[in-house]
Homo-oligomer: A and B are copies of this chain.
Amino acid sequence: MMTLPQSLAEALAEVSAEIDAQFDVLLAIPEDPRADLYRAMRHAAIGGGKRLRPLLVFATASLFGVDRACVARVATAIEAIHVYSLIHDDLPAMDDDDMRRGKPTVHKMFSEACAILAGDCLHALAFEILADPSTHPDPFVRADLVLDLAKASGPTGMAGGQMMDLEAENARFDLNTVTRLQQMKTGALILASVEAGAILGRIAPEGRVGLRGYAHDLGLAFQIADDLLDAEGDEAAAGKRLRKDAGAGKETFLSLLGADRAREQARMLVDQAIAHLHSYGREADLLREIARFVLDRDR
């Protein structure tokens, strides 16, 4: 395991504990026939994952002094979307994965039907959290957060990217198409996390240009690092099956650029992401550290 910079390590630990605590309350197991549904959601949502998206919400919102309780709820909603997408992605009809975050996947531990419903429930729960008056007193902020997340996760964002990823097994995508696929599949939710922090900070769209640039480049660097991890990483450290892209015959940044150019490209994107933060001072150091970390992670 790599040693994280002290402040980033602390921030990650704090955010992870906060997200776990939120899910623990939201997903209290009811004493009725839905108990397994809640156990399945808890299995997927609590005690695992990098919590990169919640960390981005926290790091961005901290630029604007947003109330911590609001941020925690919004970060949890975005993580709920991420977790639902992992549950559905792992299903036999999709990637057919048995392990995730070092544990059996939801359909392995429970059942396929339960996994489909657990994903659907986390999906709905994300929007319930965002629209709830206890998340933010201003309905404009709540509606804006919902719109942001719905676009980022639907057919023009994450789920659309996943469809393109399915098609990638049957087609020979070029670098432009792979870039677009990845911007949708993983980039959109990373961008939405940063945007959510800015929405909570009541920054108008015109004032988000630097942050959007940061998130855009970070998302691509993250995905290239993921491709490299898939090809070169250690399955035990990653806690999931690797070498999937080559097996499926999909074009990736790695297959199109080669490992050296891909690594160089990711480094350049990280530098570019950090450059987008030039108008911020020390208060954006956590965002800068996140960008550097994305390259060096082992899971």
Contacts and interface: CB of A to CB of B under 8 A. Distances in A.
B121 A94 contact: no
Given A37-B163, A159-B121, A160-B34, A116 B88 contact: yes
Contacts of A113: 93-94, 166
A247 to B, nearest CB: 17
B93 A124 contact: no
Interface string A6-49: 00000000000000000000000000111011100100000000
B150 A37 contact: no
A139 B141 CA distance: 8
Interface residues on A, range: 35 or more
22 contacts: A34-B155, A36-B163, A37-B155, A37-B160, A41-B155, A91-B93, A93-B111, A94-B116, A116-B116, A117-B163, A124-B150, A124-B154, A124-B155, A127-B146, A131-B143, A131-B144, A131-B146, A139-B139, A139-B142, A142-B146, A143-B143, A143-B146
Interface of A: 32-34, 36-38, 41, 84-85, 88, 91, 93-94, 107, 111-114, 116-117, 119-121, 123-125, 127-128, 130-133, 138-140, 142-144, 146-147, 149-151, 153-155, 157, 159-160, 162-164, 166-168, 171, 173, 177, 180-181
